[in-house]
Amino acid sequence: MAINGLSSTIPQSGIAVALQRLDAAASNTANRQTEGFQRLRVEQSEALGGGVQARTVRSSEANDSLGAAVRDALDARAAAREVEANAAVFRAREDALGSLFDARA
């Protein structure tokens, strides 16, 4: 719901997609030595009405290489930072709404 243009959809969807990316990186890492495991990859796109959406797909890329391990570590760190950034946006929205209600009281 948007109040005066202050929508919570964008940071909420950003957090959800970042967590999905973190889950994919964790699964890839946990299955590094699993025979026949197909790497997971998250494809992200703009959502109607604002925010982002994503889907997890299987990749044909090898999961047992050093490059895959480095990519997963970097993806996990980036996803964690994206959660932090979107949480900060959500908190700022809540603070702005609180100030708006205080001013109206």
Q: What is the mean pLDDT of each run of 10 residues along the chain (105 residues)?
A: 58 94 97 95 92 94 94 97 93 74 63
Q: Count up the domains in the chain and report the number.
A: 1
- Cα–Cα distance for residue pair 101/79, rounded to 1 Å: 33
**pLDDT score at 16:** 94
Which residue range is the domain that position 35 belongs to?
Answer: 2-104
